[in-house]
A and B are shown apart, each in its own frame.
Chain A
Amino acid sequence: EPEVTQTPSHQVTQMGQEVILRCVPISNHLYFYWYRQILGQKVEFLVSFYNNEISEKSEIFDDQFSVERPDGSNFTLKIRSTKLEDSAMYFCASTPHRRGGETQYFGPGTRLLVL
């Protein structure tokens, strides 16, 4: 069964450094998402992406964050200048069709630790 993959599985970085988290969504999917989950807390929506542009973003997704689909397969989340509070598990997800209740297939996540 096709899966969403994410790299790296773990990332440790110094405060103020830039990080890029990578995701390969399921190949025929059209909608892509990033979520984060601070340890022990709920999953929080960051951003959705369709047709090479952001379709929606949350208040968490400020100017420090950006997303990109640089080629036909990868979907990246960049944090320009990491803060301690950015430490979390970041999940990528994808859905095959347009909005309206499609199942979101989550990747295994990248655990980001900012020191």
Chain B
Amino acid sequence: GQQVMQIPQYQHVQEGEDFTTYCNSSTTLSNIQWYKQRPGGHPVFLIQLVKSGEVKKQKRLTFQFGEAKKNSSLHITATQTTDVGTYFCAGRENSGGSNYKLTFGKGTLLTVNP
């Protein structure tokens, strides 16, 4: 079945440093979503990428979807303590496979030292 791998598993940065997490799928995706989960909280939707090579920005966050639609990245510029949490990518397989199921990566736990 589809697998979604995410690296790194953990990342500790000093406030102000940049952060990047990478997501790779074993199969081509129809779209990929990114979620943030604060400690003790539930996943909260950040963004969805659909098109090959798509890049989207939300303030200090930049999301990319690879040309082959099998990988994605989330980059945070100048991290703040409010960025602390686990960032999950979640992919939906291309048509012909699952249409309902989101397959989540294991997440990257970001901690920020003030």
* Residues in chain A within 8 A of chain B (CB atoms): 31, 33, 41-45, 48, 50, 55-56, 58, 91, 99-101, 103-109
Contacts and interface: CB of A to CB of B under 8 A. Distances in A.
Contacts of B102: 45, 104
Given A42-B104, A50-B100, 19 more contacts: A41-B106, A42-B106, A42-B107, A43-B43, A44-B104, A45-B101, A48-B100, A48-B101, A56-B98, A56-B99, A56-B101, A101-B33, A101-B50, A103-B48, A104-B33, A105-B45, A106-B43, A106-B45, A108-B42
Contact of A104 (B30, B45, B106): B45
A107 B44 CA distance: 9
A91 B43 contact: yes
Interface of B: 30-31, 33, 35, 41-45, 48, 50, 88, 90, 92, 98-107
Contacts of A100: 30-31, 99
B90 A101 contact: no
Contacts of B98: 56
A101 B100 contact: no
B106 A101 contact: no
A56 B93 CA distance: 13
